[in-house]
Amino acid sequence: MPLAPRTVVVHRRTELDELVERHGTRGQAEFFLRTRGRTLAEVQDRHDACAAVLQHVAAAIPIDWRRGSVERGDLDRFLFDADDVIVVVGQDGLVANVAKYLADQPVVGLNPEPDRNPGVLVRHPPTSVGSLLAALSSGRATMQQRTLCRAETDDGQDLSALNEIYLGHPSHQSARYRLTEPGAHPERQSSSGIIVSTGTGTTGWCASIAQERHSRLTLPDPEDRALAWFVREAWPSPATETTHTEGLLTADQRLVITAEADSLVLFGDGLERDRLTVGWGQDVRIGIDGRTLRLVTG
CA–CA distance, 16 with 19 (Å, rounded to integer): 5
For 148-290, which CATH superfamily applies?
Probable inorganic polyphosphate/atp-NAD kinase; domain 2 (2.60.200.30)
How, if at all, do strands 84-89 and 6-11 pair? parallel
Query: Between the CA of residue 68 and those of 43, 195, 217, 252, 256, what are the distances in Å?
Result: 26, 34, 43, 36, 39
**112 Cβ contact list (under 8 Å, min separation 6):** 49, 50, 53, 89, 90, 126
Domain map (residue ranges) of the chain: 6-141, 148-290
Per-residue pLDDT of the chain (298 residues; tens, 9 = 90+): 467 889 999 999 999 999 999 999 999 989 998 999 999 999 899 999 999 999 999 999 999 999 999 999 899 899 999 999 999 999 999 999 999 999 999 999 999 999 988 899 999 999 999 999 999 999 999 999 999 999 999 999 999 999 999 999 988 789 999 999 999 999 999 999 999 999 999 888 888 888 888 999 999 999 999 999 999 999 999 999 999 999 999 989 999 999 999 899 999 988 888 899 999 999 999 999 999 999 999 8
CA–CA distance, 76 with 175 (Å, rounded to integer): 28
Q: Which fold has domain 6-141?
A: Rossmann fold (3.40.50)
Q: Does residue 266 contact residue 275 with C-beta atoms inside 8 Å?
A: yes
